Each structure stands twice: as structure tokens, then as C-alpha cells.
Amino acid sequence: MVYPKMRLICICLLVLGVLCLYFSMNNLSPFKEQSFVYKKEYGNFLQLPDIDCRQNPPFLVLLVTSSHKQLAARMAIRQTWGKERIVKGKRLKTFFLLGTTSSQDEMRAVAQEGQLHGDIIQKDFVDVYYNLTLKTMMGIEWVHHFCPQAAFVMKTDSDMFVNVYYLTELLLKKNRTTRFFTGYLKLNEFPIRKKFSKWFVSKFEYPWDRYPPFCSGTGYVFSSDVASQVYNVSESVPYIKLEDVFVGLCLEKLKIRLEALHSKQTFFPEGLRFSICRFRKIVACHFIKSQELLLYWQALENSREEDCPPV
């Protein structure tokens, strides 16, 4: 009576093995994802910034995705492009978007930092790269609920250089007020199916063969009405962990077309070598370390526009 039992166990193990192989090959692990739509979690902010947008509304709100350990980057941004300022008579305000970590020390430090600077927006979700969609949606919810009076919003990252002067100038020139969305346009992108890529997306997570048009998540800018509209449709598009693609899906549903801000390239998600005259005429550049940001900013502030050749 021993053999049939052994055979049964062997068959069971074999079936289990095949199933494991199947699930891992197709990345169909049923345990990995809990939901496939974004679930709006109304309110419940852990930290809200010091601003009343009804009084003296900002022209441009800059929302910077950041994490607990990036204090140096936040401090550099506060001293440079993120400093509250008036450009061409328009008020600019910068806020940082954070989630939560399991480190009590880091949580406490960020709570104190928020009290000191009044510029942190925080909610209760685990602050990891693959939760960037939640972080971005928190910023969009914040604009929708607390600052719809702003004219424009920029969502960007903490390793960016942003030329807020040139951005303001171009936005004023563009003279758009609603349903406006711009940045580095990605109009023909496909899901990356290579397992080890940072941007790997399984067919289970996103079964379609191409992405909707979207703007690189390193920096995009939109009229503030778009925040409310995106927030409104966010539960009715498929959830994807790539925040820029997720926003693209919302825009597609809303039939909001992406537009270039300028006839020349002004957003540089792949980075760009610094020169004073070059950086005067760009809006955003990726891969900027805190030290570089401080140096570049000072160089720009200490130079005169007239010293650059006209373009």
C-alpha cells in the first residue's frame, strides 16, 4: 500500500511544479497584486502644507516626489528652484510628496521637517518606488481638494533641475487655462516585457501592447483643472504602477491631448550637460545631484541673460 501513496505524492508535486513554472513564466502570481484599479482614499493626510490657496492663489504649484532619506535633495531644492518666489508677478510654491516608512526615526524627522518648512504633503502608504502612482495621485488629490485655485501644476522628481523662470515665461506665452498638459511627450511607447528591467510590466499587470500617449514622469505640467478631471476618472482606468503611464491612461479617457510647451525641446528626461546659456532656455533636466543643483543655480543667478547669444 506504500507505492500508490508515493505515486500520488509524486503526481501532486509534479502538478505543483508545473503550476509554479506556469505562474512564474507568465508572472501570474495571484498573491502579488491585490487590486487592479486605483482606489481613492479620500482625505486622511498625515501632513498638509501651510497654504490657503483661496487667499492669494499660486500661479504654479510644483509637486516633487521625494522619500524620507532625500533630505539633502529637498534642502537643495528649497534653496534653489523650489524657493517661494514671484516670477513676472506670479507666485510659485513647491511642495514635497511623501509616504510612510517603517523607521520611526525617519517618520519623526519628516514630521519635524514638515512643521519647520510647511511644505510636505504626506499620506499613509508605503513609500517605495512601485508606489509612485499612489504618490502622484496623492498630489493630484491635494490640488483637487485644497488648491484648485492654482493656475498650473508641475509634477517632478527630487533629482531634477527646474528652470521656474523659463517655465513661467513659456506658460504665460502659451496662454492656456484649461485641459492643458505638457512635458516630454512619449507618444509611441510599449510595455517592457524584460523581467529585469526597472520598468518591467507583466502581461497580467498590463495586457495591452502599447501605452497611451503620456509625458515622462520626470517632469510634466498641466492646468490645474486637469487635476480634478484626472482624479475623477482615476478609478475607472486600469491601475498601473508606472505613474506617468497611469496619468496617460486617465488623459486618454478624458480625451485631453498632450501638447509641446515650445517648438524647441525644453524637457530633458535623459539629462543634459550644464552650461549657463543652455540651462537658461530649458524647463527641466534629469539626473541632477544636490551639489550640482546648488552650483548650477548659483552660476545662473550670478550671470546675466544678456551674456547669452539670442536664440
Ligand X SMILES: *[C@@H]1O[C@H](CO)[C@@H](O)[C@H](O)[C@H]1NC(C)=O
Residues that bind ligand X (CB under 6 A): 125-126, 128, 130-131, 134, 175, 228-229, 232
Beta bridge partners of 238: 37
258, 186 contact by CB (below 8 A) = no
Tell me how far, at minimum, the Cβ of 36 lies from ligand X, in Å: 14
Considering beta carbons, is residue 120 or 171 the nearer one to ligand X?
A: 171
Tell me how far, at minimum, the Cβ of 180 lies from ligand X, in Å: 12
CA torsion sign, 123 to 128 to 133 to 139? positive
Alpha helices in the chain (DSSP H): 2-26, 71-79, 104-117, 132-146, 164-174, 225-233, 243-254, 276-280, 290-301
Considering beta carbons, is residue 38 or 184 the nearer one to ligand X?
A: 38
Tell me how far, at minimum, the Cβ of 205 lies from ligand X, in Å: 12
Beta strands 267-268 and 284-286, pairing class: parallel
272, containing H or E segment: none
Considering beta carbons, is residue 163 or 229 the nearer one to ligand X?
A: 229
Considering beta carbons, is residue 117 or 179 the nearer one to ligand X?
A: 179
Give me the amino acid identity at 308.
C
Considering beta carbons, is residue 64 or 134 the nearer one to ligand X?
A: 134
Considering beta carbons, is residue 129 or 190 the nearer one to ligand X?
A: 129
Tell me how far, at minimum, the Cβ of 174 lies from ligand X, in Å: 9
Tell me how far, at minimum, the Cβ of 204 lies from ligand X, in Å: 15
Tell me how far, at minimum, the Cβ of 225 lies from ligand X, in Å: 8
Within a 10 A sphere around the Cβ of 128, how many other Cβ atoms?
A: 13
**Helices 290-301 and 71-79, interaxial angle, to 10°?**
10
